[in-house]
Amino acid sequence: MNDATVNRLTLFNFWVAFGAFGLACFFGMYQVLERSGLFTFLQSPAAYFASVSTHGVLMAFVLTTFFIMGFGYHTAARSLRRPLWNPPLAWAGYGVCVVGVALAAIPLLLGKASVLYTFYPPIQANVFFYLGATLLVVGSWFWCVIMLVMFAQWKRDRPGETVPLPMFATAANALLWLWTSAGVALESVFQLLPWALGLTDTIDVGLARTLFAWTLHPIVYFWLIPAYIALYCYVPQAAGGKLFSDVLARTAFVLILVLGLPIGFHHLYMDPEQGAGWKFLHMVGTFAVAIPTLLTGFTVIASLEMAGRKRGGAGLFGWIGALPWKNPMVLAAILSLLMLVLGGFGGIVNASYAMNAMVHNTAWVPGHFHLIFAGTVITMYLAVAYKLWPELCGRRLYSVDLALVQLWGWFIGMVIMTTPWHILGLLGQPRRISAVQYNSVLTLSWEPYELAMIAGGSILLASACLFVYLLYKTQTAGEKVDAREDAAADSNHGAPAWLNGFALWNRLILVLMVLSYGYPILQFFLLKTHSPTAWGY
Amino acid sequence: MSRLEIDELERKWLSVSLAMIGLFVGAIVVTAVSQGVHPPSHVETIDSASLHLSQEFAEDKLGVQPTPLADGSLQVRLVAGRYGFYPREIEVPAGRRIVFRMASMDVLHGAHIPMTNMSTMIVPGYVSEVVSVFPKPGEYPMLCNEYCGLGHDHMWSKVTVIAQENWREPATGGKQP
């Protein structure tokens, strides 16, 4: 077996991911301090926007991509019980991603790429930023190929058998990411790179925003699916029960894959370059994709309830108290679901077509996605790290108590930080400002919330540092154990063929993508458009 | 196995979920169809590099337009550019339909008047058109809510909503109060 290879590959990916995470939390702390306006010596738009850009790229691109790759390699090898296919290709992909991150980091840290992680043409960044981001995506495609090949090989070798759920979901995610990243790859290769290299003078901003919107929504499902894998495959076991329904879990993953893709225009609701009919179509899909999340909430909570009752919990709510709250995986799942409920509520508001006008680009929006992404998703990433580190290193987790403190801290900090953002958003504060400079009485109503933001940010930074410390100590000073852990739960029910492969779904996605993006992209070649030249910042 | 085995509870929850989503989408469909409530989606292109030469967005054509539109609405033309919405101060009457037409002369911007539904992105190369009615008189800031450069924090303009009885039509376009 090449267990050691997989463990090494996973650890290498995870360390880049969580290193980026720890670093990005320091940038985040600087941002809440700077933005509060209480520390005049920190005030600097140049430093702030360089920091926001770096924070976004590290969290949204680096942490996620490397974590997902590492988790995928681990899941594939363990749940399929077969060696990793083509490890040199996996290391090559890792290398391409690392080079990409390094290339992008230089202009970011020098303040030469303060264009935020959403790029924002016609403001132009240093060409190495676009090049680095592109390489990171290209490297991640190596991972997608390995996942899909392993999925196909397993099915070929075991006809009629059902692919274990964790691998089914991982393959769905690889496919999702190939579809998702095509949008930003097109933008990068045909628009941003030629333009930043000086080969073209102008850029069609409408087209660039449309292509980025293609990526911008499903990318969050690329981040979310590993968290759902943990919720479905690790949490029920950790709580002492079993998954309520394997079929419903597969259905949820398929729905996310199919419905998550053709709905990016809810990021363009307020944009002038797309018509109302197209936005309306994407709005319906946006609401539809809430279904798999509602199913997930049900299945995971039902699994927890079964576990709680098995442990002696009785009555309507007694099972909640009976759950093993001191198990990091179970605690993370509970906190993660709580934040999903709060963040999901905000998401319904954002998705609501015209009502979005009230909160568009206000502080409400970072409040929303910090709850869902930094809250729901990252909390599960942390729990997965606590579960996998011991087996990857062959050592016991350094301290379960500290891990629980860390998870509670992350939850409490996130709630303290995002609640004021939601309120500030309703009070009209724009999301991407480095300081409040408006001479208007409105800004007086914003002041009380700055302190809460700093308190939340401080707790989050402390929690993030504790997390990285725990991983480091586990790896270097944890008690050595012969780690032969249980693979993620794989209840091999006989799932129907359409819940055991993606051929049908892939074709359906193609049809939906052509329907929802065909004309909206084509229109830029039919309309007489006037593309602006590059601007600095 | 061809038939899916779905638990009774799951079936109920799925119905509840579908009903909930149906309610939300239904409410949006009704307001969109019966009230015409849509986000600003005016697909119209313009050359952002030559706004100063255009019929509509030249400097002397900006601001609250003296002639109301056929349906009685007032038209307001604004140019968004680093770092302000020009003209920097406008006055509009309360309770009347205001049609904002806006174009960027440089990069991406966003206009939002907090506590109102006046909000739109302003994308270079495109004209943004957004309609709003301001019920309450008062001074409102119009904030840029999209990152547009290192001076973004400073990008805002002033909109004064005047009670209908005190409102006078401006004599010429582009005149600033």
Distance of alpha carbon B82 from alpha carbon B30, whole angstroms: 39
- Please give the average per-residue pLDDT across A152-179, as a whole number: 95
Comparing A35-44, A91-100, A459-468, B23-32, which segment has the lowest mean pLDDT? Answer: A35-44
CA angle B82, A45, A196 (to 5 degrees): 65
Stated as kind and residue range, the H or E segment containing B160 is strand B156-162
In angstroms, what separates the C-alpha of A440 from chain B's closest C-alpha?
7
Query: Which pLDDT tens digit goes with each residue over A332-360?
Result: 999 999 999 999 999 999 999 988 999 99
Residues of B in contact with A491 (CB under 8 A): none
Contact B147 A298 (CB under 8 A): no
Chain B touched by A438 (CB under 8 Å) = yes
- Please give the average per-residue pLDDT across A154-168, as a whole number: 93
Handedness of CA A407, A408, A411, A416 (dihedral sign): negative
Chain A touched by B59 (CB under 8 Å) = no
Amino acid making up residue A72? G
Percent of chain A at pLDDT above 70?
Answer: 98
Residues of B in contact with A205 (CB under 8 A): 108, 123-126
Burial of residue A10 (CB within 10 Å: 0-12, 13-18, 19+) is buried
pLDDT at residue A479, as a whole number: 87
In angstroms, what separates the C-alpha of A409 from chain B's closest C-alpha?
31
In angstroms, what separates the C-alpha of A303 from chain B's closest C-alpha?
12
- The answer for residues whose C-beta is within 8 angstroms of residue A447's C-beta and 6 or more apart is none
Chain B touched by A279 (CB under 8 Å) = yes
Distance of alpha carbon A273 from alpha carbon A253, whole angstroms: 32
Asked if residue A29 has pLDDT above 90, the reply is yes
pLDDT bin (cut points 50, 70, 90) of residue A37 is confident
Chain B touched by A269 (CB under 8 Å) = yes
pLDDT at residue B121, as a whole number: 97
Q: Are strands B74-81 and B63-64 parallel, antiparallel or unpaired?
A: antiparallel
Asked if residue A448 has pLDDT above 60, the reply is yes
Chain B touched by A284 (CB under 8 Å) = yes
Residues of A in contact with B131 (CB under 8 A): none
| Beta carbons of A452 and A416 less than 8 angstroms apart | yes
Point out the residues of A that are catalytic. 217, 221, 368-370, 431-432
Measured CA to CA in angstroms, residue B155 lies from A175, A221, B114, B146, B162 at distances of 42, 34, 14, 10, 23
Residues of B in contact with A123 (CB under 8 A): 107-108, 148-149
In the DSSP assignment, the letter for residue B120 is E
CA angle B31, B34, B36 (to 5 degrees): 70
Best mutation target among A301, A360, A364 (most B Cβ atoms within 10 Å) is: A360
Distance of alpha carbon B61 from alpha carbon B71, whole angstroms: 21
Measured CA to CA in angstroms, residue A78 lies from A167, A386, A494 at distances of 9, 17, 20
In angstroms, what separates the C-alpha of B66 from chain A's closest C-alpha?
25
Contact B125 A531 (CB under 8 A): yes
Contact A273 B4 (CB under 8 A): no
* pLDDT, tens digit only, all 177 positions of chain B: 334 567 788 889 999 999 999 999 999 999 999 988 999 998 999 999 999 999 899 998 999 999 999 999 999 999 999 999 999 999 999 999 999 999 999 999 999 999 999 999 999 999 999 999 999 999 999 999 999 999 999 999 999 999 999 998 876 655 444
Chain B touched by A502 (CB under 8 Å) = no
Chain A touched by B10 (CB under 8 Å) = yes
Contact B39 A354 (CB under 8 A): yes
Report for A113-122, A203-212, A236-245: range of highest mean pLDDT: A203-212
Residue of B nearest to A360 (CA): B119
In angstroms, what separates the C-alpha of B42 from chain A's closest C-alpha?
5
- The answer for residues whose C-beta is within 8 angstroms of residue A450's C-beta and 6 or more apart is A35, A36, A37, A38, A420
In angstroms, what separates the C-alpha of B133 from chain A's closest C-alpha?
14
Q: Give the A:B interface size as CB pairs under 8 Å.
A: 205
Residues of B in contact with A352 (CB under 8 A): 24, 28
Q: Which two tokens stand for residue A440?
A: 């208007």
Which CATH topology does B48-166 take? Immunoglobulin-like (2.60.40)
Which chain A residues in 151-210 lie under 8 Å from chain B, judged by CB atoms?
204-206, 209
Distance of alpha carbon A379 from alpha carbon A382, whole angstroms: 5
Best mutation target among A207, A353, A364, A423 (most B Cβ atoms within 10 Å) is: A353
* CB atoms near residue A45 (< 10 Å): 20
Asked if residue A487 has pLDDT above 60, the reply is no
Q: What is the ipTM of this complex?
A: 0.93
Residues of A in contact with B108 (CB under 8 A): 120, 122-123, 205
pLDDT at residue A1, as a whole number: 46
In angstroms, what separates the C-alpha of A120 from chain B's closest C-alpha?
7
In angstroms, what separates the C-alpha of A528 from chain B's closest C-alpha?
7
Q: Please, what's the largest Cα pairwise distance for chain B?
A: 78
pLDDT at residue B1, as a whole number: 37
Domain extents for chain B?
A: 1-38, 48-166
Contact A272 B41 (CB under 8 A): yes
Chain A touched by B106 (CB under 8 Å) = yes
Contact B146 A533 (CB under 8 A): no
Quote the radius of gyration of chain B (alpha carbons, Å): 21
Query: Which pLDDT tens digit goes with each residue over A489-516?
Result: 555 667 888 899 999 999 999 999 999 9
Contact B141 A442 (CB under 8 A): yes
Residues of B in contact with A295 (CB under 8 A): 10, 13-14, 17
Distance of alpha carbon B73 from alpha carbon B97, whole angstroms: 5
- In this complex, the residue of B41, B120, B153 whose CB is nearest that of residue A433 is B153
Chain A touched by B157 (CB under 8 Å) = no
Q: Which two tokens stand for residue A443?
A: 């800004």
Residues in chain A: 537
Distance of alpha carbon A153 from alpha carbon A421, whole angstroms: 48
- In this complex, the residue of B6, B114, B149 whose CB is nearest that of residue A428 is B114
Query: Which pLDDT tens digit goes with each residue over A309-322?
Result: 999 998 899 999 99
Residues of A in contact with B41 (CB under 8 A): 271-272, 274-276, 279
Distance of alpha carbon B53 from alpha carbon B75, whole angstroms: 20
pLDDT bin (cut points 50, 70, 90) of residue A124 is very high
Query: What average pLDDT does the structure give for chain A?
Result: 94
- In this complex, the residue of B49, B121, B153 whose CB is nearest that of residue A434 is B153
- In this complex, the residue of B2, B119, B124 whose CB is nearest that of residue A357 is B119
Distance of alpha carbon B176 from alpha carbon A404, whole angstroms: 61
